[in-house]
Amino acid sequence: MTTTQLKNQFLEDLGGKYPKEEILSFFNFLAEHILKRSRLQMALEPNKEISDAEISQFEVALARLKKFEPIQYIIGETEFFSLNFKVAPGVLIPRPETEELVQWILDEVSLQQNKNLQILDIGTGSGCIPISLKKHLPKAQISAIDISEEALKIAKINAEQNEVSIDFMRKDILSAEKLPLQFDIIVSNPPYVRELEKAEMQQNVLRYEPETALYVKDENPLLFYEKITKLAQEGLAKNGLLFFEINQYLVEETETMVKDHGFKTDLRKDMFGNFRMLKAQKH
């Protein structure tokens, strides 16, 4: 079988399930991963034969795509902030919006000209936030916590693969009474999707991504934000900053709650035009 024949099989088998562009992008990702061939190489040699072993790897991936499993879990990795991260069903797949949050933190830090920062990431998942920060702030001391043992296992592998040192700890933030020390920066992308928002979510997220990383009860959607904001009152150093990724449908509520705890706030939109990030500083 040639690469073009295989590509056509993908288009045919997945046609009713995904838009054409997306199928082609899956195919390219898989070609890169299984055949170690770039999109350009594939285009230059459309009639190159693929071995049976390779075909069967594509077929396994195709079957998983038919069930709407995210391509990142199938390949086992994804890119975030130009770095490679291992991902598996136990961790949330890093989102491009979160890259924007990392960039905002880096912009603020470079304004402060302060290199020996203490930074804490709460609910780290794959470790994408602290690892990207540490790559750009090598002198910072960065700690990261998560409730999930499985997530921490993957986060540690990611730190190792990206050659940075992060202090990972297992902790349920909701039961924490205080933070272990004062931080210059506290950042969190906690669960914020309400049950009522599930209706508008994609099958791949609903079926495969970890519920503990994503969902909160309709009645108390700011649970994590409120707890973290309270902890930040004592847990932030002088001039320290708190950064949140937030729910676009709960912008006002989130901002008001943070302000009510004695912080001044600033909001930013993501690339899709939704308010997605909040920065807070003690008065």
Here the contacts of 69-76 (C-beta below 8 Å, separation 24 or greater) are 69/204, 69/207, 69/208, 70/204, 70/205, 70/208, 70/209, 71/26, 71/29, 71/30, 73/208, 74/30, 75/29, 75/30, 75/33
Cα-based torsion angle of the residue sequence 77, 189, 125, 76 in order, rounded to the nearest 10 degrees: -10
The least CB distance from residue 97 to ligand GLN, in Å, is 6
Q: What does the block give as tokens for 254?
A: 């989130």
Pick 3 or 189: Cβ nearer ligand GLN: 189
Distance, in Å, from the CA atom of 65 to the CA atom of 69, rounded to the nearest integer, reads: 5
The least CB distance from residue 261 to ligand GLN, in Å, is 20
223 binds ligand GLN (CB under 6 A): no
Site residues for ligand GLN, 235-264, by CB under 6 A, read 245
Pick 191 or 235: Cβ nearer ligand GLN: 191
125 binds ligand GLN (CB under 6 A): no
Q: How many residues of this chain bind ligand GLN (CB under 6 A)? A: 9
User: Sign of torsion, CA 169 171 173 177?
Assistant: negative
The least CB distance from residue 32 to ligand GLN, in Å, is 25
Pick 214 or 250: Cβ nearer ligand GLN: 214
How many other CB atoms are there within 10 angstroms of residue 60's CB atom? 12
Q: Which of 24, 88, 214, 257 binds ligand GLN (CB under 6 A)?
A: 214
Distance, in Å, from the CA atom of 54 to the CA atom of 34, rounded to the nearest integer, reads: 7
Q: Which of 117, 166, 193, 231 binds ligand GLN (CB under 6 A)?
A: 193
The one-letter amino acid code at 129 reads I
Pick 3 or 148: Cβ nearer ligand GLN: 148
Pick 210 or 240: Cβ nearer ligand GLN: 210
Pick 9 or 274: Cβ nearer ligand GLN: 274
Q: Which of 58, 104, 192, 275 binds ligand GLN (CB under 6 A)?
A: 192
Q: Are 117 and 103 in contact (CB under 8 A)?
A: no
Query: For strand 83-86 and strand 77-80, is the pairing parallel, antiparallel, or unpaired?
Result: antiparallel
Exposure pattern of 248-273 as b/e (b: 16+ CB <10 Å)? ebbbeebbebbeebebebeeeebeee
The least CB distance from residue 234 to ligand GLN, in Å, is 24
Whose CA is closest to 74, among 123, 32, 20, 42?
A: 32
Q: Which of 75, 83, 173, 205 binds ligand GLN (CB under 6 A)?
A: 205
The least CB distance from residue 235 to ligand GLN, in Å, is 20
Pick 31 or 144: Cβ nearer ligand GLN: 144
93 binds ligand GLN (CB under 6 A): no
Q: Write out the residues near ligand GLN by the rule CB under 6 A.
A: 95, 189-193, 205, 214, 245
